[in-house]
Amino acid sequence: MDAAEVKEIYNRQVKTKLGGDYEHRRWFSNDLKKAGYEMTRRVVEWHCLEKIELLEDCLELGSGAGTWTKLFLEKCPDAKFDLVDISGEMLDQAKENLGSYQNIRYFEADFLDFKPDKQYDLFFSSRALEYVPDKKRAVLKIAGLLRSGGRGFIITKTPKYLRARVFGRKIPRLHQGQIAPRKLKQLLSEAGFKNIAIYPATMSFPLFKSPKLNRLLFKVFYKHGLNFLSQFFSESYCVKFEK
Ligand SMILES: C[S@@+](CC[C@H](N)C(=O)[O-])C[C@H]1O[C@@H](n2cnc3c(N)ncnc32)[C@H](O)[C@@H]1O
């Protein structure tokens, strides 16, 4: 799906289907989603923030309502964040959510067209890369945006296309752009990144829709590198890398 269609969908959904409150509808409106929020939060705290004391220039792709930006700013309130999102409606939600922080700039743009005026120490993105049509260009763009020694963290959906085919499930076009962990690692490596490590992020026990089981799987797997078993149960994964 091209970027213009993604923009149109997100702008429309935020106003209609999501009732103008993306963050609540996406992360808190039922127990399953709350479990997804807790798992993602733990992943951000453990993998992205644990060893960070000071943050200067940071870039977030597809910030949505700024749900995860908040965590970075709670730990490093002086960090300068640039948020790039293709949806103006989403950025309005982020502005409402993050209004108390003066050190944020908001850019309504397709990431691939974004023209930064500086380089960054940190790149972060949660659940947005899967909507960027050209992953290779996206990864090369990240490589150009990061300073030498800069760090990147991407949380993105684990494709389950084979499973969908087996169960005869049709994947909506919006969700057909997910990239396999191995492929993303290869693109990052080709772009020159080092110390690339992949971990499970949110976990989902197939068919049961059980927050309890999902949390249990998460507890078992989240500190260990993604492997065949954890990939099977992962709904999303987190890639860490350095320039
Ligand atoms: C599923 S939401 C994730 C929002 C937030 N990061 C979160 O985890 O709650 C995906 C976000 O990525 C944005 N997005 C999709 N494609 C994009 C692109 N090409 N450039 C910039 N933002 C994009 C959408 O507008 C949306 O806000």
Question: In the prediction, which pLDDT does 51 show?
Answer: 83
Question: In the prediction, which pLDDT does 13 show?
Answer: 87
- The mean pLDDT value for 111-120 works out to 97
Which atom in ligand 1 lies closest to the alpha carbon of residue 23? 9
Q: How many residues does the chain have?
A: 243
What contacts 145, CB < 8 A, 6 or more positions away?
59, 116, 119, 120, 123
Task: Give the architecture-level CATH label for domain 3-242.
Answer: 3-Layer(aba) Sandwich (3.40)
Give tens-digit pLDDT for 138-172: 999 999 999 999 999 999 999 999 888 888 999 99
Question: In the prediction, which pLDDT does 164 show?
Answer: 87
DSSP 8-state assignment for residue 116: -
Q: Note every long-range contact of 50-57, with CB atoms under 8 Å and residues 24 or more positions apart, other chains counting.
A: 52/76, 52/122, 55/79, 55/121, 55/122, 56/80, 56/121, 57/82, 57/118, 57/119, 57/120, 57/121, 57/122, 57/147
Distance 29 CA to ligand 1 centre (A): 19
Pocket of ligand 1 (CB under 6 A): 3, 6, 10, 26, 61-64, 67-68, 84-87, 90, 110-111, 126-128, 131-132
Distance 116 CA to ligand 1 centre (A): 18
What b-and-e string marks burial along 78-102, b requiring 16 or more CB atoms within 10 Å of the CB?
Answer: ebbbbbbbbbebbbbbbeebbeebe
Please answer whether residues 83 and 94 qualify as being in contact, where contact means their C-beta atoms are separated by less than 8 angstroms.
Answer: yes
Distance 132 CA to ligand 1 centre (A): 9
Give tens-digit pLDDT for 29-70: 999 999 999 999 999 999 999 888 888 999 999 999 999 999
pTM for this model (two decimals): 0.96
Given a cut of 70, whether residue 93 has pLDDT beyond it is yes
Chain-wide mean pLDDT for the chain? 95
